[in-house]
Structure 1
Amino acid sequence: MFDSRRMCVAWGLALLVAVAPRYAAADDDDALTLEKLNRTIEQNPRQPDAYLYRGLIWQERGELERAIADFGAAIRLAPKSADGYAHRGIAWQELGKLENAVSDFGAAIKLDPGDDGTYVLRGIAWNLRKGYDEAQRDFDAAIRINPRNAAAYAYRGSVRQKRGDLEQALRDCNAAIRLDPQSAEAYVARGMIWNSRGEHDKALRDYDTAVKLDPRNAEALTNRGIVRQKRGELDLALADYNAALELKPSAAGTLALRGQIKQARHETSQALRDYDAALKLEPENAESRLQRGILRHSQGKVDLAIKDWSEAIRLDPKNAAAYSQRAAARGMKKDFGGALQDCTAALRINPQLGSVWHLQGWILATCPEAAHRNGERAVKSAQRACELSEWKDALAVETLAAAHAESGDFAAAVRFQKKAIEIIGKDKVNSPDARSRLALYEARKPFRDDS
């Protein structure tokens, strides 16, 4: 979460300063300036600078369609000027029309290939489109043109962090901070790298610095909230998310993060409102789908939860958590074949998911439908679940006992069931079901989960 709009708006200040003296009202009142510009354009509709300046005012007001129209007029009047293309590209980017933004920035670069700022702008657009190779090439070009462009280093660091090149990313962000120690964005970018490396204390320090430099930096607040959430500081995280949303109410990612906090605090209706709002803004966000599905499942709305997880998987086929959650829900609905398919998919993506090995082993060992039972596979799955839990999870050990019973090795089943009961006893949990299953195995009978 790195605020590219700040770079875009800052880039426009040079043009604003250049043309403002001709059109600005004496008291810098935007409304009066706009009135003066309207009169100027009416009297002489062939002044490209007037359209550019009016477009900037529309853009600052958030009236982006009007801004785009004025920048388009400036381009028609001065087709050899890069400014109109660059500023229209910024407006397209703010509207989320990233393909149009890349095209306009490209046109600006063709007209003025020596402007490092436009390369940074196009790199930002590529970054938002997840075109990380193209983004890095543009940031490289900006740095070649101007080795003191701190923003180019910071954004290149952000791209390298996303690509997993954390050492190079850290070097870039350090360079950005050396060049511009007052850049809140550079500290945000470096904080993201520390966070990726699991160095949460360092990340927190950088986000604190960013907030001190710019208390209205919503990205710094959101990212600080993420670190605080990881540290279990839920009240502080919630305060950061609330502050960020006051500044950027339409930040879908922050809404979803706040929803997680509300969910953890059992404020279910508020959490659902945040997830719904996030998905209204970004319906293609797989993580928000995943989290809303978890919430719906906790409410007993299993079919709606499965629908959310299925959509999360469609949006992100590598989302192991969505497969894992859907597997458990399908098992509850006695769709054992679907549950096993989801277990396989989740483990193909992330073979370290002990809970999924456990679920897979349990279905293979205890399914009431013989077609889905397989004692040999069940033993292997349960064994892996036990290993991943370092043999401390009683349920995983119970699954291994059930798997051995399904395989016909009742001596092993009894041995592991007793071990599970021993773990349960250490946890001071009374489990009559565990003892009844032990009696079954001692009677050389497998367990069938008909619940």
Structure 2
Amino acid sequence: MIRSSSMHFSLLALLCLSGSLLFTPTVAFSQQTPADSPPAAESSPAAEENTTAESTAEDAAGVDAGQDELDEAAILRFDAKSPRELEAVERLLQTAIKKGLSGENASFAKKMLGSVLLQKSQQLIAAMGQTAGNRNRAMQLRDEALRTLDEAIENDAELVEAYLLVARLNMLPGGDKDAITEATSNAIDLLADNPVERSAAYVLRALTYGPGNEDKRLEDLNAALKDDPKNREALQARAAIRLQNQDVAGAIEDMERVLAEDPTNLQVAQTVVQKLADLDRIDDALKLLSKALEAKPSEGLYRMRAILYRMQLKEEDALADLNKALAMQPQDPISLLQRAEISVGRKNLQAAKDDLRAAERIAPGVAAAEQAIFVRCLIAIEEGRMADAINEMKTLIDRDPTNDGRKLQLANLYLQDDRPRQAIEVLSSILDRDPTNVSVLRSRADAYLSVGDHDKAIDDYERAIKVAGDDSTNYDLSGILNNLAWVLATSPQDNVRDGARSVELGERAVELTDGKEPHILSTLAAGYAEQGDFEKAIQWSSKAVEVGKEQGHEQLEQLEQELEQYRAGKPWREKQETEENAVPILSPEDLIDT
């Protein structure tokens, strides 16, 4: 029982006013005898002596040994903010509890101690953010904060915020996932009357479940969204699971709700758009972005949709979106680089250069960005500066030596610059790691033709055809068939030619292209000429010339020469042998600025 004195009365009143006291203690106040009350009967000296002794004994029995420390701690608690002040309160409370408190005093002291320890842990967590990258120090502070939180919970098992902090600290590297599950479960139980905060706790627990526990994770996320339908973190996490489960419609629904709440959340949009792109659901990704743009136009979303349009080869739509993005944010170097790349494809080199220079002027560091390097490479190609283009592509490959797509582009640049042997070297390095890469097999075969090595070319073409099968959607199958058929019909090497096989491949290539490609029609004619069937050779060669004239084909002159050869009863022979470009390619470091 708390002692009745003027000091303690003032203290209790102050505590009640501050809202810090969680209970109302019973205080024994002395009562004055009303004026109209009859006087009490006089007692004997012996009776008074006995009464006084009993009262003193009762007061002594009702006073807690730790009362003074508790009172002092309560006074200091009002203004305690610094670590030193909190430690002083903590010591007083620990001493009070150790000396002995009973009933409400004991409960009050534990509640106050739990609050102090929670505040102390928050200060430790704040200090973690000021460790300037010192990971060891940060982890030491994390461990100390966890110990402090555990002690806080021991004193007050209803500290919801302490449980949530325990969960979040254990989500850091090296944390205890079981501790996260236990802490969030306790928080969820305590937050029955606070659905919004309980929703956040459900999400925290859902994030702890590892592979194989997707059902538990989904169950918690559903519970989180039942408590708080606008919980964006829960919607994002559930969308990711739905995408993983191939529930694209459900995932899109969740992401639409996220973007409806936060239309400018580029990270959210990028995550789902990338996943949809990986699943080859470009149209779904475009619909999602379009809805987001209807809700609130954003330069970032326009730029993202432009990238998707480019993936569908819709350059005009992409350009329109990039123009909108730049109208909203003219200083966006990424949009400028995207537009520059499109301008190169449209042969508008001046516009491409202007956008490239503008991007580099706005953010000088962008000159070293991969897209800027690639744009410079494309401009160099269009201007015939092949050495510069090759150097730019080498820079990209040096950054990512595993990027076979870039290596294939480098090989093609070598071929364009009459360096087939260097192209073969690059292509062979790719095939060493990926021997069934159809595009690379086809490119190396073309390179072997350039150096007159027909046997190796035929071998690569055959391998490419075997891997591709009947898949003309993902591969330029007609081109591979045509090139192999051509070398089998026209090679000057007798042991290489095979007229029957050439006709078989040529007919398949003509079928795939609906007879609309003059050079493929020409190949089929060459196959028949190799077989000695000049009637059919003339028939298909004439058609090749006819279609070539309609299209203004760049090889029309050779097509006409082939026809004249067949009319003369002679097959066509051709040995391509490119003279290797011997001019060395100087790296930028080797060039002397004069």
TM > 0.5: yes
Q: 1:382 aligns with which of 484, 500, 506?
A: 506
| Residue 127 (structure 2) aligns with | 50
Higher helix share: 1
User: Which one is further off, 420-429 or 189-198?
Assistant: 420-429
Task: Report the CA distance between 1:346 and its aligned residue.
Answer: 4.8
Q: 2:342 aligns with which of 227, 233, 242?
A: 227
Q: 2:539 aligns with which of 399, 402, 415?
A: 415
1:110 matched to 2:208? The reply is: yes
| Residue 485 (structure 2) aligns with | 361
Q: 2:403 aligns with which of 285, 294, 299?
A: 285
| Residue 201 (structure 1) aligns with | 316
User: Which one is further off, 347-356 or 164-173?
Assistant: 347-356
> Aligned partners of 2:237 and 2:141: how far apart in 1?
19
1:252 matched to 2:373? The reply is: no
Task: Report the CA distance between 1:108 and its aligned residue.
Answer: 10
1:168 matched to 2:245? The reply is: no
> Aligned partners of 1:239 and 1:316: how far apart in 2?
39
Map of 1:233-272 to 2, 5 A cutoff? 233-244=348-359, 246-272=364-390
For the structure 1 residues 247 and 376, does the alpha-carbon distance in structure 2 shift closer, same or farther, using more than 3 Å as the test? same
> Aligned partners of 2:563 and 2:443: how far apart in 1?
29
1:148 matched to 2:261? The reply is: yes
Q: Deviations over 1:290-331 (max 9, x none)?
A: 221111122232222123234455677786543332221012
> Aligned partners of 1:135 and 1:238: how far apart in 2?
44
3-state SS of 1:248 partner: helix
> Aligned partners of 2:549 and 2:287: how far apart in 1?
52
1:449 matched to 2:574? The reply is: yes
Map of 1:88-99 to 2, 5 A cutoff? none
Contact 1:386 1:396 in 2 (8 A): yes
Between 1 and 2, higher relative CO (CA 8 Å, sep ≥ 6) is seen in 1
Task: Report the CA distance between 1:404 and its aligned residue.
Answer: 0.2
* 2:168 partner amino acid: A
User: Which one is further off, 439-448 or 362-371?
Assistant: 439-448
> Aligned partners of 2:173 and 2:409: how far apart in 1?
37
Q: 1:338 aligns with which of 446, 456, 466?
A: 456
What CA RMSD, in Å, does the superposition of the two structures yield over aligned residues?
Answer: 4.6
3-state SS of 2:338 partner: helix
3-state SS of 2:261 partner: coil
* 2:281 partner amino acid: D
TM-score between both structures, scaled by the size of structure 1: 0.65
* 1:449 partner amino acid: E
For the structure 1 residues 69 and 287, does the alpha-carbon distance in structure 2 shift closer, same or farther, using more than 3 Å as the test? farther
Task: Report the CA distance between 1:362 and its aligned residue.
Answer: 0.6
3-state SS of 1:110 partner: coil
Task: Report the CA distance between 1:259 and its aligned residue.
Answer: 1.0
Contact 1:170 1:190 in 2 (8 A): yes
For the structure 1 residues 404 and 291, does the alpha-carbon distance in structure 2 shift closer, same or farther, using more than 3 Å as the test? same
Task: Report the CA distance between 1:406 and its aligned residue.
Answer: 1.8
Q: Deviations over 1:385-436 (max 9, x none)?
A: 4556665655433322220022231222233345555667785989887677
3-state SS of 1:173 partner: helix
1:402 matched to 2:526? The reply is: yes
User: Which one has a bigger Cα radius of gyration?
Assistant: 2
Q: 1:159 aligns with which of 275, 295, 301?
A: 275
User: Which one is further off, 430-439 or 257-266?
Assistant: 430-439
Q: Deviations over 1:20-58 (max 9, x none)?
A: xx9xxxxxxxxxxxxxxxxxxxxxxx9442342555xxx
* 2:419 partner amino acid: K
Contact 1:340 1:360 in 2 (8 A): yes
> Aligned partners of 1:242 and 1:345: how far apart in 2?
45
| Residue 294 (structure 1) aligns with | 412
| Residue 210 (structure 1) aligns with | 325
Task: Report the CA distance between 1:266 and its aligned residue.
Answer: 0.8
1:327 matched to 2:455? The reply is: no
| Residue 304 (structure 2) aligns with | 189
| Residue 306 (structure 1) aligns with | 424
User: Which one is further off, 151-160 or 294-303?
Assistant: 151-160
Contact 1:306 1:329 in 2 (8 A): yes
Contact 1:221 1:240 in 2 (8 A): yes
> Aligned partners of 1:160 and 1:438: how far apart in 2?
51
> Aligned partners of 2:355 and 2:314: how far apart in 1?
19
Task: Report the CA distance between 1:149 and its aligned residue.
Answer: 4.0
> Aligned partners of 1:75 and 1:119: how far apart in 2?
29
Q: 1:82 aligns with which of 168, 171, 182?
A: 168
For the structure 1 residues 267 and 74, does the alpha-carbon distance in structure 2 shift closer, same or farther, using more than 3 Å as the test? farther
* 1:301 partner amino acid: R
| Residue 392 (structure 2) aligns with | 274
Contact 1:297 1:305 in 2 (8 A): yes
Q: Deviations over 1:139-183 (max 9, x none)?
A: 9877778962433245313421342223321232123334543x3
* 1:148 partner amino acid: E
> Aligned partners of 1:432 and 1:186: how far apart in 2?
50
For the structure 1 residues 430 and 193, does the alpha-carbon distance in structure 2 shift closer, same or farther, using more than 3 Å as the test? closer
Task: Report the CA distance between 1:337 and its aligned residue.
Answer: 3.9
> Aligned partners of 1:180 and 1:67: how far apart in 2?
41
Contact 2:299 2:325 in 1 (8 A): yes
